[in-house]
Amino acid sequence: MLQPPPDRVSAVIVSYDSAAVLPACLDALARDSVPAIVVDNASRDESCAIATAHGATLLRNDCNEGYGRANNRGVAACDTEFVLILNPDCEVQPGMVAALLDAAARYPEAALLAPRIVEPSGRLFLPMRSLLSPEHLNRGRGDAMPEGDACLPFLSGACLLVRREPFLRIGGFDPRIFLFYEDDDLCRRLRDAGHSLVHVHDAVALHMRGRSSAPSPARRFKARWHLAWSEGYVARKYGLPHPSPARILANLAKAAGYGLLLQREKMAAHAGSAAGALAWMRGRSALAREGLEGLP
């Protein structure tokens, strides 16, 4: 099994109350001799202690700065040609990083390369459509998954091998986005800059999807708030149709209905969607909601 050269690649993992999954993520990187930087978004659990115990470089944020901003900090701290951006609930499989580096040599125009991301059920996790994709590049749900390497319009931010130079040249992830659509936006900007995005068949990562932090109604509300806000933000950024008021009303009605049924998780999700879209329509920023306005 090939090992990646340690001076060519390092990994960046953003943690936020990720103690349950972080050990397996870091152990898998260590098996492939990939040095790791953990950027912690003010976790309240043992994430920081776990990162230190596993030999990772730890960068602590005083507050939760979100996915994109924290990854930007991690990539800036790297000095390798390539950076593996990895969710804490992802585990690289043996030889994955070496396979991605080998593909990067075959496709020198590629700025982002992603492995096959497999969920515990065996399902392949691959975004086939995006709000930010031109319609002729969007693919229907029934299309077959790639059976080999493929150049795609978008790749998932759960596991990405990034060429550091073009990533930094375009400014990395958009720092105005706290959560959601930041990987779509990054893919769109790199593609618009003339780079390709490659799905690498022989590289495999296991994704324990959605298990990087414990669920709760409050977190569900917050996540859906940011999903709705970010949708409005990127729609305006790229001149796409804005979310309609009818969707806001529909989410409010669903939130009320689930509230009557005492289904708190679903009530919080729909209430968050409505609140996030309303905040975007009123010109409120995601950073202001999180107390980050004014930070560099």
Per-residue pLDDT of the chain (296 residues; tens, 9 = 90+): 566 666 899 999 999 999 999 999 999 999 999 999 999 999 999 999 999 999 999 999 999 999 999 999 999 999 999 999 999 999 999 999 999 999 999 999 999 999 999 998 888 888 767 888 766 566 555 556 788 899 998 999 999 999 999 999 999 999 999 999 999 999 999 999 999 999 999 999 999 865 555 568 898 999 999 999 999 999 999 999 888 889 999 999 999 999 999 999 999 999 999 999 999 999 999 999 999 988 77
Residue 43: CB atoms within 10 A of its CB come to: 22
Q: What are phi and psi of 277, to 5 degrees?
A: -65, -40
C-alpha closest to that of 242 among 255, 254, 232, 257: 232
For the full predicted model, state whether its pTM sits above 0.85: yes
How far is the CA of 245 from the CAs of 223, 242, 248, 250, in angstroms?
20, 9, 5, 9
Instruction: Break the chain into its structural domains and give their ranges.
Output: 9-207, 217-289
- What tokens appear for 181 in the block? 């659509």
Q: Are 25 and 86 in contact (CB under 8 A)?
A: yes
Q: What's residue 209's pLDDT? A: 66
What is d(CA 292, CA 66) in angstroms, rounded to the nearest whole number? 10
Radius of gyration for the alpha carbons in the chain, expressed in angstroms and rounded? 19
CA dihedral 77, 38, 211, 46 (to 10 degrees): -150
Q: Among the CATH numbers 3.30.1330.10, 3.90.550.10, 3.40.640.10, 1.10.10.10, which is that of 9-207?
A: 3.90.550.10
- What tokens appear for 267 in the block? 């009530």
